[in-house]
Structure 1
Amino acid sequence: MKIVISDYEDTLNRNLDYEINLIKAAFPICDVVIHVFKDNNSLIKEVKDADDMLPLW
């Protein structure tokens, strides 16, 4: 399972351990990927095989 957390760089400039730990507690075998949003094309590439996406914007 792959879960993507995506947002703008300035918003992601925080400690994401809390969110990652919550996700991994609920889904222990998932991969959590942090994606810094720059453009739609890079976002589409990152989420095309994701099971869920947490857009934070």
Structure 2
Amino acid sequence: SPWRVLLPLLQWTGLAPHVEMMSVKELDGMMTRAGFEIIETGIFPASPPARFIVARKI
């Protein structure tokens, strides 16, 4: 992804905030460990991908 190269430069110049890149598995694990039950997930639209999660606090 071109963002992986461009993002540090934008952050250094103050034009972009800190951003954390993670896999779908890592994100789901973080939500579960934080006490959420994942009810449904999806990627809409397929291009560019955007992850949506429906969860509830347990």
Q: TM-score, normalised by structure 2?
A: 0.30
**Normalising by structure 1, what TM-score?**
0.30
The structure, 1 or 2, with the larger RCO (C-alpha pairs under 8 Å, 6+ apart) is: 1
Of the two, which has the highest radius of gyration?
A: 2
